[in-house]
Amino acid sequence: MSDSHNNIEHFDNEAGKMGMWIFLFTELFLFGGLFLVYAVFRTKYSADFHAGASELNSFIGTLNTVFLLTSSMTVAMSLTAIQKNNKNLALFLVSVTIMLAALFMMNKYFEWSHKFEFKIYPGSSVLKNMNRGELLFFGLYYMMTGLHALHVLVGMILLSINLVKIKRGVVNMKRYLLLENSALYWHLVDLIWIFLFPLLYLIT
């Protein structure tokens, strides 16, 4: 602490983390709105949602859940590593997290392209001829998993920045707020998927 006092620099880890949490709350409500729309339409068109959900591949969904849960652990461990001044282990664990995220996105790519082959995508002729409920189901499916995938991409970018900063020693044993906040963001991505997965893939 005395170093930062000499440099007349104000650094508050607690406040930085609090700011991140407040941002995460806004993210929560963003997805919350979509979950609410899903709940309402699911009640209104339960048979169509049943038909729509049975078309999703629950194996891919489960695999992606495993990837995301594991990556959440590795990013939490990377924070432990940096706090214990184990730079190489931290670099390794962040890299593993990015790799798992890439695997998630790859799965998503295969999943979506498989749907596209059957001409199931927003605005397609096949989708337009489906029942109203199924149209809504796939609309929500693409919107929710798409917005989630966008968050995965942002998380991957954030974690890559962390890799560079850890390597350069900017993120270190004493200053790890960037990694801590990026990890919090990554956990939020995981949290949202924990709800998306059963709602879209499992409950048919």
Partner 1 sequence: MDIPLPAFIPDNLINKDHMNNETHISSYSSLAIVLIILLLLTMISVTVTGFHLGPFAVAAALIIASIKVASVITYFMHVKFESLFMKLMISGVFVIFALIIIITFIDYLLR
> Where along the sequence are the contacts to partner 1 (CB under 8 A)?
1, 5, 8-10, 13-14, 17-18, 21, 25, 28-29, 32, 35-36, 39-40, 43, 58, 62, 65-66, 69-70, 72-73, 76-77, 79-80, 83-84, 183-184, 187, 190-191, 194-195, 197-199, 202-204
Q: Say how many CA atoms lie within 13 Å of 123 toward its Cβ.
A: 1
Phi then psi dihedrals of residue 11, to 5 deg: -135, 125
Q: Supply the minimum distance, in Å, between the C-beta of residue 43 and partner 1.
A: 7
Per the CB < 8 A criterion, the answer to whether 82 and 179 are in contact is yes
Q: Residue 62 or 131: which CB sits closer to partner 1?
A: 62
Q: Residue 80 or 88: which CB sits closer to partner 1?
A: 80
- Residue labelled with tokens 């282990």: 89
Q: Residue 76 or 91: which CB sits closer to partner 1?
A: 76
Q: Residue 30 or 170: which CB sits closer to partner 1?
A: 30
Q: Which amino acid is at 148?
A: H
| CA separation, residue 90 to residues 110, 142, 166, 170 (Å) | 30, 34, 8, 13
Q: Supply the minimum distance, in Å, between the C-beta of residue 54 and partner 1.
A: 11
Q: Supply the minimum distance, in Å, between the C-beta of residue 39 and partner 1.
A: 5
Q: Supply the minimum distance, in Å, between the C-beta of residue 203 and partner 1.
A: 5
Per the CB < 8 A criterion, the answer to whether 33 and 119 are in contact is no
| Of the candidates 36, 24, 35, 28, the residue with the CA atom closest to the CA atom of residue 197 | 35
Q: Supply the minimum distance, in Å, between the C-beta of residue 121 and partner 1.
A: 26
